[in-house]
Structure 1
Amino acid sequence: MDISVVIPLFNEEESLPELMAWINTVMIANNFSYEAIFVDDGSTDDSWQVINQLKEEYSTVRAIKFRRNYGKSAALNVGFAATKGDVVITMDADLQDSPDEIPELYRRVREEKYDLISGWKKKRYDPITKTIPTKLFNAATRKMSGIKLNDFNCGLKAYRNDVVKTIEVYGEMHRYIPVIAKWAGFSKIGEQVVEHRARKYGVTKFGLSRFVNGFLDLLSIFFVGKFGKRPMHFFGSLGVLSFLLGTIMALWMIGVKLYHIAMHIPYKREITDQPLFYIALVAIVVGSQMFLTGFVAELVTRSAPERNQYLIEKEIN
């Protein structure tokens, strides 16, 4: 099979027939063999009934329905597990992503050997309250990940099948799939300018909380990807640095007092009366705790059953 199209959705009953007809037209025009996998993320409208009707009309339709709303990341993760196509395309169900982009995305993955192509909605139809925070997150993600993409959160992406079978998407991490793929060893990541269409039906399903959750997930990806198998390197380094800094400050205060005593110079202030003493004490305590945290995390990591599981691309026997 050439292409698997994974479509996560939540309350999109109005747009589904038009979207499926559009996808089918594009696939037939390009002689692609394909499957369309709809993942209903606990919709409360008639989306599931519409999908059942589409299944009767299109034999290429497959569908999964959650009992409740788990989020887009969960829907994508389950959809990825179900794919059979050589190339996997993800798109939103609200008709803001154009299926006309699929042939070029497919060609670049197959012919140019990209692991992942991420869409870039260069011209957007979103309100400024959404576009400005998105630009800030994209800039922060570029800086932390080293991946030169303009739009990490675009729902329209193309992957080699082994990419989606390797990575795990959870929480709010769907917006950072390129980062997850890079940490998994899939480094050939490209970008393609795609059309962003104004929403035709319904309303957006994302609130302001996604920006807070997105930032926390970015930190999680950065930490787990870089220090997941060696937490002592992170906590231990910071702990030793804090402990040494506090010790140096404490020794300096003690040295100053001893110098005054030895030289018979009046020294009226007690060490415990100085703010620096408490700063040093906090630094020593925090440093000790961080070192112990790293030590415990290292023990947990070494006891984990997947501690020596690594992604092997090829093997010759």
Structure 2
Amino acid sequence: MIKSETPTESEVKPLRDLPEVSVVVPVYNEVESISLLIEAIALSFASSGRSYEIICIDDGSKDGTVDLLRSLALQRDDLIAIFLRRNYGQTPAMAAGFNYAKGQIIISLDADLQNDPRDIPLLLDKLAEGYDLVSGWRKHRQDDPIKRLLPSKIANWLIGRVTGVKLHDYGCSLKAYRAELIADMKLYGELHRFLPALAFIEGAKIAEIPVNHHSRRYGKSKYGLGRTFRVLMDLLTIWFMKTFLTRPMHVFGFLGLLLMSLGFVLGGYLTFLKLGLNQSIGDRPLLILVVVLFLTGLQLFCFGLLAELLMRTYHESQNRPIYRIREIVALSAGERGKGKG
């Protein structure tokens, strides 16, 4: 069955009901690569015995990828093709794949054949050691040293410093997640590269392992320096969420009280000059500074109160707790009753 509308839950279920692993692949203009990638993914599961599904999300391709994916999806029982209405970007495409994934474990990777599907079993083995997220590290990366490697190294260092999650390679799309972790995270902007930091906020255990990386065989890269500004803005968002998501008043209220206090002190000094020493203060720049400090402080304090209300609405409207429980260990009711004797 082929539909142009967004698939319903029943339409995207693979023939294998509730597979163990869902492989999510955002696709944009990769008509030469996609067939080879799907075959390589299937081959990586051939000897593992794990049930799986491959979810390819076409992000508004214009090079024949749509027709090819549609044809492949009608031939294979392990492939689900989702077609977005236009080019939204990698983060929305990944979010769409995560939302439709049915596996207990979710693997993400790029469609350009630079990520190696043969590394998927390594990620799964590492995840089985008790981790919630395993990130790939392109230790021997095959990219332009100036346009790609240098900016990436700077970005990885900066993200690690700001978020507190030290990884060698935030930009590697090849990652493995537990499905319950993904369910707790909402993606916006360019946040797909910050998934380890978002997972850390949720209390996840994170590991990183070296993976293979190949030179691009077909097409050209969709990444450029133009994304730097958007990444920096998202990094500030992650920093704020990590530090003040459940207590915004701690930052805005503190700054507001600090500025108002400084305004009161300087205002007291001007009052002493006026009343105590009978000096003119109307032409002093310090008077303007006092007014600006007091009004700015008052605005920040009120902004903190509004942020507190928004935060409570955010959590309470979704019945979303401000904590995450990893495990609950307890005796059964009958065993607890025996213990009382």
Same-fold call, TM > 0.5?
yes
SS of aligned partner of 1:273: coil
Q: Report percent identity of matched pairs.
A: 39
2:268 equivalent in structure 1: 251
CA distance, structure 2, for counterparts of residue 258 and residue 133 of structure 1: 59
CA distance, structure 2, for counterparts of residue 303 and residue 155 of structure 1: 33
1:174 equivalent in structure 2: 192
The correspondence for 1:164, drawn from 153, 157, 182, is 182
- Cα deviation, residue 236, structure 1: 1.1
- Identify if the C-alpha distance between structure 1 residues 20 and 306 changes in structure 2 by more than 3 Å, giving closer, same or farther: same
Query: Is the deviation greater in 294-303 or in 206-215?
Result: 294-303
CA distance, structure 1, for counterparts of residue 27 and residue 111 of structure 2: 6
1:226 partner amino acid? T
- Cα deviation, residue 138, structure 1: 1.5
Matched residues, number: 308
CA RMSD of the aligned region, Å? 2.1
1:42 equivalent in structure 2: 60
TM-score (norm. length: structure 1): 0.89
2:43 equivalent in structure 1: 25
CA distance, structure 2, for counterparts of residue 69 and residue 78 of structure 1: 13
- Identify if the C-alpha distance between structure 1 residues 12 and 120 changes in structure 2 by more than 3 Å, giving closer, same or farther: same
- Cα deviation, residue 257, structure 1: 5.5
- Cα deviation, residue 308, structure 1: 5.1
Q: Deviations over 1:236-292 (max 9, x none)?
A: 11111111122222323443565645xxxxx6xx43433333333222111111111
- Equivalences for residues 184-199 of structure 1 within 5 A: 184-186=202-204, 188-199=205-216
- Equivalences for residues 266-281 of structure 1 within 5 A: 270-281=280-291
1:207 equivalent in structure 2: 224
1:154 partner amino acid? C
1:69 partner amino acid? N
The correspondence for 2:306, drawn from 296, 306, 311, is 296
Mapped contact 1:229–1:307 kept (Cα < 8 A): no
The correspondence for 1:149, drawn from 154, 167, 171, is 167
- Identify if the C-alpha distance between structure 1 residues 272 and 146 changes in structure 2 by more than 3 Å, giving closer, same or farther: same
SS of aligned partner of 2:289: helix
SS of aligned partner of 1:39: strand
Mapped contact 1:239–1:288 kept (Cα < 8 A): yes
CA distance, structure 2, for counterparts of residue 228 and residue 83 of structure 1: 28
1:309 equivalent in structure 2: 320
2:15 equivalent in structure 1: none
CA distance, structure 2, for counterparts of residue 302 and residue 61 of structure 1: 41
1:220 equivalent in structure 2: 237
2:149 equivalent in structure 1: 131
CA distance, structure 1, for counterparts of residue 318 and residue 295 of structure 2: 30
- Cα deviation, residue 60, structure 1: 0.7
Mapped contact 1:301–1:307 kept (Cα < 8 A): no
Q: Deviations over 1:136-170 (max 9, x none)?
A: 22222111211121111211111112111221112
Give ranges in structure 2 of 5+ residues lacking alignment. Answer: 1-18, 334-341
2:16 equivalent in structure 1: none
TM-score (norm. length: structure 2): 0.83
